[in-house]
Every structure is written in C-alpha cells, then in structure tokens.
Structure 1
Amino acid sequence: MARNFDDMFNEVLYGKRRRQDNTLIDHWIDECLFKDSEEEDIDRSSIPTPCTWINRDREAGQDRLFQDYFADEPVYNADIFRRRFRMRRHVFLRIVDALSNVYPYFQQRVDATGRRDLSPHQKCTAAIRMLAYGIAADAAYDYVHIGESTTIECLKKFVEGVISVFEDEYLRKPNLNDVQRLLQMTESRGFRGMLGSTDYMHWQWKNCPKAWKSMYMSGYCGVATIVLEVVASSNLWIWHAFFGISGSNNDINVLDRSPVFDDILNDRASEVNYTINGNNYTMGYYLADGIYSEWVTFVKSISKPQGEKCKLFAQYQEGQRKDVERAF
C-alpha cells in the first residue's frame, strides 16, 4: 500500500530535527564535562575512574615464601629467618596458627573461580615486614604479592589479633604467681627479693614526622629518639615497658612519669616478703645503675668499691644487671 506523502514528509522532517537535537545535546555534554576553561569550575577528580585489575599471581608468592622459609629444607636457615622476621621460626608459626584458629580473616579460602586466597603466612609476613623494617605498604608487594590496601588491612588485623589472643598471657602486669616465680629465680642467683633489672635506652624513631623531630631530637644520637624504660628478668622477659613523652628526656625525668611504681604507691602491688641479715622486708627491688635516685626500690652498684666485700658485691650486681642489657 502506497504511503501518504504527508506522512513521509513529516517523518523525514521530524527525524532530521531529532538528529539535530541529539547532536546539540552531545555537544553540550561535551562542553560541560571536558571543556577546560577558567570560566567553569569543574572538579575532574570527582569523576570516577574505572578500577584496574592486576593479576598479582598470589599463588606464586605463597609458593616462593614457603620454599624460602617454611619448607623442610628452606633456602634460608634459622639465623637468617630470625634476622629478617625479628623472631624465631617457631614463634612466628605459633602466631600464625593462633590467628588462623581464631579469626576467619587469616584462614585461606578458595574463591568462586577455584583460586586460592592469600595464605595466613603471606598476610602475617606482610605485617611483620612493615613492623620490623618500617617500610611502606606497597613495598611488600614485590615479595609476598599483596597489594597496598590489602597490606594495610593485614597490618591492622594482625595487631588487633595479637593483642586479643596473647594479651592475657604476655601483654599484662605480673600477677602473684609471676612474682613468686621471679623471686625464686633471683634468689637462686644470690639476690633475694629482686624483681628484675631496669634500664633505659634511646629508641630511634626512624619515621618520626618532621613536625615532631625537634621535640624528639637527641643530642646523644643526633636523630629522633624516644627513651624506652624497661624492666627485664633473668630469662629476658620484658614485663614492663614505657616510652617517654616528647621533650628532652633522660633517665630521671622519664622515671618521674613512669607508671612502674604506681601499684606500690596505690597499695595494689603483690606482696613480697623476704629476710636478709635478720631484717624483714615487704617490698621488692630492682637492680639499677648509678644514675638512679637513692630509692628503696633500687639497688645500685658501688662506683668505687673499697675492700674485697664491696668489690664482690659490685661484681655480682653489675653481672646480674646485664640481663636488661641482653634483653635490649
């Protein structure tokens, strides 16, 4: 059936107009979105960009990590492992196993495509590398094949997990049983009533913010440092640690701000009873060097011993106080 001339004319006319209108609309959108002029204030950073997927080959990273450190015959021996991980292999594996048993985040799973997820060894290694070396998050990619955002997430989960799992056993003050064990250890070494050795050291703050470096700058080391107060036992357990506040600090003014004697001042300390030369004592003490104040809680050496008795005491005191130096 022949079409009406008027209908054909209107179709051509309106179709042309629609094409012209579409062209104008496209031109207007192009002007609004991409025109770079000072008259229009357009924030191009707000325009979302598509995410780029990177095949990091996490399976290869896990296989290489296992062969290097955790195989039956690893590439690197136990000494190299301890130097790079800042702990022995059995300690690291204990942490990995504990976190894997408690938190699903550290458990290896298989995704919908059948690929293995990141292993707990990879996640814990990335966190340990950041803590041990102070490196950036994306610096761990070259070895463990983990992206920057995932590495940061691993670090946060690792710290939270270690505190949650090991806090009751390791990250706490000594209880009554711990105090009795410490007293037995020190009494066998000739110092009845001793709870440990205390000392201070300047801990270098490698990544100290530039705005704070003047507050933490140490004339002794020439770099930004934080004074660390430590009490250690003969088995090298550090059961008290306190980082001094900002400012020019030495051992004395850090001690004034330290909470090491708060329990004694508030009558919350564990009871310590012992007898020396017929005298009864109810307060434990720490071995310290000569810079400390003359407090009853400190037993210091003799700087210039006179006589065999004083020389013998100075020799034993200085020898036992090496525990905290060994811990450092």
Structure 2
Amino acid sequence: MITALTDPSQLPNQLQDQQTFDTNMASMIDNLPLRAQQENALAANMSAYAAGGAYSFMYGFDTATTAGDPGPGKLRFNAAGQSSAGAIYIDPVTVGGGNIDNLLVSIGANLSLLKGSIRLVKAADPTRWMLFDISDVVAGSGYRALAVAFRASSSATPFGNGDALQVFLDRTGDRAVDLSPIVRIGGGAVSNGTLNIDYLNLFSDDYYRYQIELTALRLSDNNGLAMRLAIGGTVNAGASSYAPLGPDGGGTVSRSSQFTVADNASGSGVNMTINVRGARNSTRTNVGANGTNGFGNNYAEIAEGYFDNTSAISGFRLFGAGSGATFISGQIDIYGYRKV
C-alpha cells in the first residue's frame, strides 16, 4: 500500500504562502525515498500476480552471514557462497513497512515436508536471481530463519550488499491426511550390537490395536526374546506386572517382570507377529505372538498373556532375555489399526 505523499494538503502548491510552501516542499523531499520504496513494493506485487500467485515483497540484501536479525526490510544468507546457503534470515518487516510474519508462520505450519519456495530477483537486473526450497521456518529474536535447499540460480553469487530484491514466497499445499485403516507407524532395520529395540512413545489414542512384525530378528545368544511395555515413555519392569506368554503354544505361566515372546532368537532369527490390544486402557493390555523361532520350529499361536496397567501404554521394548545379549540383525515394522 502506498501511503507516502498521498495527502494533497501536505504537498506544495502555488496558492500557499511562502512559509507553508517551503515546509511542504521539505516534507515532500524527505518522503520521496519512502514513496519510491512503496511504489517498488507495489510493482513487485503486481509482477507476482502476473507471474501466477506467489506473494512478493521488497527486501534489501545484507552480505553478513551470522544468524540474527538483519534489520527491517533486509535479509541475509548463512553462507558467503550464496548457492551454498542452507538458511535465510529474514526480518518480517518489509521495505515499505509491511509485516509478513503471519505468512512466514503459515509456511512453517505446512504439513508437507516441503513447506514452500523462495525466489529472489534483483530489482534493477532481473537476469540475476536465485531459487530455494523451504523445509522449515524457525522463530528467532525479531526475525525468522528459513531452512532452505538451493534449487537454481543465474550464478553462484548473483547479489551484492544493499541490492534491492524482489522476494517471491510460495507456500505448497498441505500433505493429504492418510485415512487408511492400517498404518505403518514405525520400524526399520536393526543394527548389529543393539541392546534394546525401543519404541517407548509410539502408541497413541489414534489406534486401538498394534501389530509388530519381526523379520529374521537375531540375537547374540539363544536365551530367548523378551518384551516389556512402557507407560509415559518409561519401561515397566514390575516383578509381577506381567502374566507372560508361554512359548511353544503354552498358556499363561506365573507372573513375571516381562513377556517371553520366543524361547530362541539365534540361528536364522525370529519371524513373528506380535499383537498388542487394549494398550490405551487403564486396566489390562493383552499381548499375543505367533511365528517361528531361531531354529525354524513352527509355533502354534501362543495364548495371549496380559499386563496389569494403571495407565495407558505408550510403547514397548524388545530385548534379549539373556544377560548382555544384543541384536545382530533383522527388521521390525509396526502397524497401527486406526479408530473409526
């Protein structure tokens, strides 16, 4: 918006007395730079509309590279080699006094991994330009830090200190929400030497059941694979909290400090499905497992054991039942059954 030099009564004209004329003339000269800035900003916005939708603002380029507020109407990179920049520090106040903080916050709140893009063009020479993808927007003291990845430019370092830039900001669409009834919510390859497989804060009220798939999961000894549940991110090892599963198709055995889900996880490893039901209840969580152990013997489906919990279960830990046992290799995949 142009606000400078828009009030006719404050402009000089021939009908004014000499003192008024001189005062208004001096005021007009003082406000000419602001008028020029506002006109440039308006021209940039008009160019953006013509180009197809990106928001556009005027900024001055600052060649400093330190993280911090570059000052109103300015931005800077975190690298002298401009095409190597991984962050852009931008004051939310533009040339001309506009404030784009709400736009920057909106870009950062985007659910997509790629939040948007920023294109910078030298106002006096449109052949000098740069384009970056935005992956995050972080609040600083009086400024915003844009985490960016270089995409393209007219040259490696097209801008000089004090250059007037047209800055085009574009926000990508939000990622679509996955409404599939069964969703993979965690997992991955298990590294050699891993002591515990921990997913202690994975469960949520979005799901009513969890399915844990173990593929060729190997331990360094043959003392078996054990499981404990977590409450509030902390593993529960209560001596009588678990009515554990009996391997080889056995029923519930005496209470213990853990579930034993396979009596041997060495050799070729465990291939098994573990089901967890009622995890978000505050009374009892049921756990069941079926599959093959490290020597390839087939298990019948093991009768479900249970865990007496006083609060909702937040996740689980898998570990070797033998002292000092570590995982050698394998894969774990965790699925949640979404509430409908």
TM range (shorter): under 0.3
Which protein is richer in helix relative to its size?
A: 1
Which protein is richer in strand relative to its size?
A: 2
- What TM-score, normalized to structure 2? 0.25
